[in-house]
A and B are shown apart, each in its own frame.
Chain A
Amino acid sequence: MTLLDAVIFLPLLGFFALLIAPASVSRLGALAISLLVFVASLGLIGKVTGAADGYTFVNSTPWITYPPIRYHVGLDGLSLWLLILTTLLTPIAVLVSWKHIDHRVKAFYAFLILLEFGLIGVFVSLDLFLFYVFWEVSLVPMYFLIGIWGHDRRIYATVKFFLYTFAGSVLMLGAIIYLYNLAGTFDYTGILEQLRSGRIMLSDRAEMVMFLAFFLAFAIKVPLFPLHTWLPDAHVEAPTAGSIMLASVMLKMGTYGLVRFCLPLFPQAAHTSAPWIAALAIVGIIYGALVAMVQPNMKKLVAYSSVSHLGFVVLGVFSFTQAGLDGAVYQMLNHGISTGALFLLVGYLYERRHSLEISAYGGVATPAPNLSAVFLITTLASIGLPALNNFVGEYLVLQGASQAHFSWVVFAAVGVILSACYMLWLYQRAFFGRASESLSHHMPDLSGREWAAVLPLLILMFWMGVYSQSFMPAISAQNAQILGQTNRTAVASRHPVVKEVANAR
């Protein structure tokens, strides 16, 4: 029993406690549980950053004897910050729902805490079966969060969300079983060891099929163009808390999976298909930005901007360079912070005016200067202004991509410019100009609770932008290891000719 186990299972216990407790204490209970988990998760940092290139807080306990499935969890530099992101955003999601959610309160907070359980589990599982379990478990509460507390077209959106993700993940299950049949274990480190030492060999074709099965599941979740169509629907219809958790954490399940599993397990296939995937990522960056530009609906705009930003992450991952991978992982966190904050602020606006249409706003800066200032900072962070968090990630991704292939950067950089266009234009239309009479009356400035929810994100935007050194060493150390595994195995491939072609592209 380690601290990590406590962090994993506290939300599950909290879920049951919330189910039993009367609805009147659900809000407070959820806040208390999520804050407790957050504080506990902070205790994990020191030990993990001390030994970031290996797993710490490892617990490997048999769960099912045959087939040998273990409760095998551990933390490294890659998963640590994603876990903290999850535990940080859950109390924030509780806070933003404080007044907004007024019916079936108990179920709402119970599902939110159950979601935290699933998400934490995904980032710490070192057993493929366990990973799949958490992967699917996180799907169910989100399905209900969107479907019950969402907006008008919530049912269409939530069913689409569930089916897309489920369809992708069943094929991953097939690949997991196939790997198990070869290796005789679900243990991720065990399978990796066997692959590296050559005890199990995948033919080129088998490796490519396995890679694609995993990749499809992750690409849907990211979402990579052209598999992104569920995302705008889900975001627009989800309640604010759902949007925050979806954008900030759930999308990272996909990119995390790419880094953690796709690269080290199937290095050769990853290298072979990298040009195609990078092309899709670049198309996603530009397409997402262009579509975001013409959206009349704020949430949809932010959703498409996510497609664009996540394209950078995928591009960084498949550059196979230290800088690119560091930037990609850092960008996962940045996107979680800045897009989470954007959805949160859009939620604030919606609570005041009950509309997501940009045209319903205009001149918000006059009645609500604080809200506008916070929105501006978040906008600038999202654009990638230096001294704010996104700049660091985007810069590293572009640098890494340029090492791999310079023309990638030329196209991807267009996305950076476009992001300034759509975000600033949004800001101009919604916050500047003359405020109408009705808007001024319904636009109080930030309340204390609202400040409390957004302030941690603001601080992190500056902190991560100015002093990335607090976070980066742990990420880099783990990335160097993943990269070492990926590149070494790929270079020592059985078909060097294919490799050269792939690298030359």
Chain B
Amino acid sequence: MPANAFPTSVEYFRALPEIVLTLAGVLIMFLEAVLRDDQKKIFGFLTIVGLGAALGAAISAGGDPGGAFHNMLVVDGFATFFRVLVIGVGLLAVFASIEYLERERANTGEYYALILFSIVGQSIMVTANELIMVFIGLEISSIASYVLAGYLRDDARNNESALKYFLLGSFATAFLLYGVAWIYGLTGSTNLFQIRQSLASPGAPPVVLTGMAAALMLVGFGFKVSAAPFQVWAPDVYQGAPAPVSGFLSVGPKAAAFGILVRVFMTAFGPIAARWEPIVWVVALATMIVGNFAALQQSNIKRMLAYSSIAHAGYVLVAVAANSEVGSAAVMFYLAAYALTNFGAFAVVTHIARKGEKRVGIDDFAGLAQRQPAMAAMLTIFLLSLIGVPLTGGFFGKFYIFKAALDSNLVWLTVLGLLNSAVAAYYYLRILVVMYMREPAKLGEASTEALAEASVPAGAALQFAVYASAVGTLLLGIFPGWVLDAANRAALK
């Protein structure tokens, strides 16, 4: 049908966010080559404009849902929610990065272009309606992320981080691709709805084989969301990567991967849900336990936040295991709350770490409440949200996840998850203790220079990122209705 061979304008409109982001990224790479060094300050601004435009495009595209490009992409409420989320995270990441890059003398265009391309990949992932697009989106996002993790190329920790991320990440992607190939072989399709129909039809392929394919894909996604037992990369990567990049990696790609995990498993593998639900149940529990108990032992704050982000992936998996409309809404709300909270925490770490990221031990936060009361107060909000104390987004997210789990009769998983969150309180409290209840002993002995450096206030952009995250965290806790309504409307059935 030649009339359908070419995409119509509405289809371009539905893919506009990706198009805008790609153009912005390409433009920045072009300008990087032609601009003088002193003109390169505009990259941050350009990226923000590009992301802002993409955000607008994503919202307006969400007003006109439908498929695009032969249903390779689908713009529905679910996709729009995640698009807005990953683009919003990108905005926060850029605000938090500008000062950091200047401090490390690495304020080049590649960084911003890579952030943009990573978001393009994430955006494609969450809009994908068939497995090849999932794979393409995942790869675009991942490859940009690998480079970002090793962005400060003279820093040994960055190199280690990038190499580990790349090797393990490629390995996991291969599993995913193998699973896609199996599914294509079994059902003759890569479209999620056709796979679903095929699996639900009387002549469905043997469940052993489809289950194997689903398992292979679960390995691939499990790696991306850092679910146990595929979580080992996360602590090393988050610890080694530049602090704002760690913050970005711990929320953006993770949210996108969860989005597509939920879509693939609830849509395509819905007919064999009875097979994968128990597996996700086990994975969720293992992820919570591994993350929380390993985090108890950490003395480096980036590494501790890495383990904590593993634990939070476990909570989200509880909602995935619920496999219901409420569960899907809970995944969405939790990821939004978690994104603001966790990125905010990393943004504060970015500020406290100072040049060369020398201050990333938990002891370096000693006496922060007296030196920088505002930053300490913001970090307190983020930590309370990660603990799950009411009036923060983290609490309401957790509440909604466990509500979904109880709806689906996952009583034991709920009880164990709740107890896990009590364990988690211990290591978050440690940071609060250090910030508020310890005197800065180490600094007392250090030179006045070190003291002065530790008291430098954050730049305006970074402050904006921190305050915006904190306000968002509180708003999601006190008036969750705004985001929750969107999540409930957009939830997958």
Contact = CB atoms under 8 A, between A and B. Distances in A.
B479 interface: yes
A171 B384 contact: no
Interface in B364-420: 369-370, 384, 387-391, 395, 399, 402-403, 406-407, 414-415, 418-419
B485 A66 contact: yes
B481 A64 contact: yes
Given A170-B421, A174-B414, A65 B481 contact: yes
B436 A147 contact: yes
Given A140-B384, A140-B389, A159 B418 contact: no
B425 A65 contact: no
Nearest to A154: B437
A67 B402 CA distance: 13
Interface string B425-444: 11001101100111000000
A460 to B, nearest CB: 33
A107 B376 CA distance: 13
Given A65-B481, A177-B402, A132 B422 contact: no
A87 to B, nearest CB: 22
Interface in A120-163: 132-133, 136-137, 139-140, 143-144, 147-148, 154-155, 158-159, 162-163
A65 B399 CA distance: 15
A163 B426 contact: yes
Interface in B454-493: 479-481, 484-485, 488
B418 A170 contact: yes
Given A154-B437, A174-B418, A177-B406, A64 B484 contact: yes
A323 to B, nearest CB: 37
Contact of B422 (A104, A144, A163): A163
Contacts of A6: none
A149 to B, nearest CB: 9
Nearest to B430: A159
A148 B434 CA distance: 10
A181 interface: yes
B389 A137 contact: yes
Contacts of B488: 66
Given A139-B389, A166-B425, A174-B415, A64 B406 contact: no
Contacts of A154: 437
Nearest to A64: B481
B485 A65 contact: yes
A171 B406 CA distance: 13
B437 A177 contact: no
Contacts of A410: none
Given A65-B481, A66-B488, A139-B389, A159 B415 contact: no
Interface residues of B, number: 35
A167 B426 CA distance: 10
Contacts of A148: 436-437
Nearest to B390: A133
Interface in A91-137: 104, 107, 132-133, 136-137
A180 interface: yes
A178 interface: yes
B437 A147 contact: yes
A159 B387 CA distance: 13
A155 B389 contact: no
Contacts of A132: 390
B485 A159 contact: no
Nearest to A172: B418
A435 interface: no
A280 interface: no
Interface in A19-78: 64-67
A173 interface: yes
B330 to A, nearest CB: 11
B390 A174 contact: no
A166 B403 contact: no
Contacts of B415: 171, 174
A66 B433 CA distance: 36
Contact of A136 (B390, B406, B414): B390
A155 B430 CA distance: 9
Contact of A174 (B395, B406, B429): B406
Nearest to A106: B373
Nearest to B396: A64
Contact of A173 (B391, B402, B430): B402
Nearest to B421: A170
Contacts of B437: 147-148, 154-155, 158
Contacts of B414: 174, 177
A107 B380 CA distance: 14
Nearest to B425: A166
Nearest to A65: B481
Given A66-B485, A170-B388, 7 more contacts: A64-B480, A64-B481, A140-B384, A143-B432, A163-B426, A170-B422, A173-B418
Interface of A: 64-67, 104, 107, 132-133, 136-137, 139-140, 143-144, 147-148, 154-155, 158-159, 162-163, 166-167, 170-171, 173-174, 177-178, 180-181
Interface of B: 369-370, 384, 387-391, 395, 399, 402-403, 406-407, 414-415, 418-419, 421-422, 425-426, 429-430, 432-433, 436-438, 479-481, 484-485, 488
30 contacts: A64-B479, A64-B484, A66-B485, A66-B488, A133-B391, A136-B390, A139-B389, A143-B432, A147-B432, A147-B433, A147-B436, A147-B437, A148-B436, A155-B433, A155-B438, A159-B430, A159-B433, A162-B429, A163-B422, A163-B425, A163-B429, A166-B422, A170-B421, A170-B422, A173-B399, A174-B418, A177-B399, A177-B403, A177-B406, A181-B407
